[in-house]
Amino acid sequence: MKISGARMVIESLKKEGVKTVFGYPGGAIMNVYDELYKQSDIQHVLNRHEQASVHAAEGFAKNSGEVGVAIVTSGPGFTNAVTGLANAYMDSTPMVVISGQVPMSLIGTDAFQEIDAVGISRACTKHNYLVTDAKQLPEIFKEAFHIARTGRPGPVHIDIPKDVTAQIEDFEYPDYVDIPTYRPENRGDIEAIKTAVEAIKASEQPLLYLGGGVVKSNSSGLVRKIAEQTGIPAVETLMARGVMGADNPLLISMLGMHGSYAANIAMSETDLVISLGARFDDRVTGKLSEFAKDAKVIHIDIDPSSIDKLVDVDYPIIGDLNFVLSDMLPLLTDIDSEKFADWRETINNNDKLHPLSYEKKEDILKPQQVIEKIGEMLGDNANITTDVGQHQMWTAQFYPFTRGRQFNTSGGLGTMGYGFPGAIGVKVADPNRVSINVTGDGSILMNIQELMTAVEYKIPVINVILNNNYLGMVRQWQTLFYEDRLSETDLSVQPDFIKVAESFGGIGYRVATIEEFEEAIRDAVEKNIVAIIEVAVDRRENVMPMVPAGGSLYNMMLK
């Protein structure tokens, strides 16, 4: 059939099974929005800022495992979306972002709202396209979704000039994709897997190092089976929280800059690192020359460029964790879990020596108490999203995550303002669970306009603001490393968050005790509407333990 390029965009999304898109219209993308208006199969969520549209699409993708989709216009519409693209790229999130562009005849003329979107997005996308003919659209969309969701997932950008969306051409959507230069290796080399298994059997103090790739590949069940079968303890990165489950006796905790004492010491003393879908990020490794320096390294990853990038790997395996771990599991059946009993006992003793803890006060709430109370009240029934800062680390440390995809945060890019729109996307993907955004008084103001989006579409996100009247994490660094010179981190002048919530049509609570907080959470969940719960917390509380930047994991500041 002959249809316009704009309708091809909509029909292509339908072919890919897309039910929800997030976006913000404008001149260059108006033809596509006109076609959106004419159909009812795809829901469009109108965010109040393009950055929020891309963050919401990412929250949807992170929670569902499906490809998230955002649509923006040219010029500032696209540049506003770049932070979201970069965030998704750093966190390996499958997304397709569609942008409008000025007509072909105006490209390169500095036309109104023209920007080199493809040039800008090249550094923060897995792949990108400038569509020059409507005939290309079906194949490009098929390729874009394939690239976004396969191999190491990531965002793909499609830039479409306005005159291309107006062209009338034949539409036939491809049945398959054949990209000779893009064929991710899914099945790991069986001989390499066997060699890695022999290394595990020969080790005395092995450690499972779990990264976000375990979540992306939906491999949590396999990882738990391997840990249970072998008795090998595990540490999780920030992006892997929930993989093992909070009550799993083989889970030590999170490791890294704000990881637990037991987790960081275990990584420092292990003789074999078994890295599953992790990329040895600097926030995890600390000083590279001291990181697990007496250990051999097994690294299993879908992305060959991640292997040997930062840490020398002794046993590299390129492949999808689902395939590799399925091949590995039967080869590990003859390992007696008691072999590692002494190693587990050493780790348990270290955990008892310096557990994750905090000192409660009578006159002010500690932020850790608030996180624990959310976990106690909602547990597995909540999906937790965070912004970036101290509240992010406290949430990672103290919430009892039970499953992969329960925790949704900005990891690699560390984007303040991600939390609220991300939580909106999570709620759209999983409407039957409570969506909580744990945020700070700095982060919430980055995208607070999304209160209008959440109210309009009846997406009941509960925003818990841990208010310490500071840019907390920056303040912590200034206190510890800059002799407490608090340069531009005091946020004592603030809006009335309760009135802000109410003015948008939501509900607001201001609490100062744990009893008041419990009552507010219960009421917000029962009312099932958009909410802000402002919690006054200890202004000077620090996130501990802490490994100073560039320091070794075993040299932690404990208090």
Give residue for tokens 């200890």: 538
Active-site pick, 19, 43, 112, 204: 112
Please answer whether residues 121 and 85 qualify as being in contact, where contact means their C-beta atoms are separated by less than 8 angstroms.
Answer: yes
Q: Is 368 a catalytic residue?
A: no
Beta carbons within 8 Å of 407's beta carbon, 6+ residues apart: 241, 242, 384, 386, 395, 396, 399, 401
Q: How far apart are CA 501 and CA 530, in angstroms?
A: 8
Q: Please give the Cα distance from 138 to 557 (Å, whole number).
A: 55
Which residues, in sequence order, are CB contacts of 555 under 8 Å at separation 6+?
A: 547, 548
Given 62, 142, 162, 373, the catalytic residue: 162
The active-site residue out of 11, 50, 58, 541 is 50
- What six digits make up the tokens of 113? 């709202």
CA–CA dist 170, 543 (Å, integer): 58
Q: Which of 104, 113, 185, 494 does the annotation list as catalytic? A: 113
Secondary structure class of 261 (helix, strand, coil): helix
Residue 181 CB coordination number (10 Å): 4
The answer to whether residue 162 is catalytic is yes
**What is the C-alpha separation between 158 and 164, in angstroms, rounded?**
12
Strands (E), 68-137: 68-72, 95-101, 127-130
- Residue from 473, 544, 546, 556 carrying the catalytic annotation: 473
Quick check: 226 and 250 in contact, CB under 8 A? Answer: no
The pairing of beta strand 272-276 with beta strand 296-301: parallel
The DSSP output letter for 467 is E
| Gap between the Cα atoms of 116 and 378, Å rounded | 46
Phi, psi of 99 (to 5 degrees): -125, 145
DSSP string computed for 523-543: HHHHHTS-EEEEEEB-TT---
> Is residue 467 within 8 Å of residue 509, measured between CB atoms?
no
Burial 462-482 (b: 16+ CB within 10 A, else e): bbbbbbbbbbbbbbbbbbeee
Is 216 a catalytic site residue?
Answer: no
* DSSP category for residue 189: P
Residues designated as active site:
50, 112-113, 162, 473
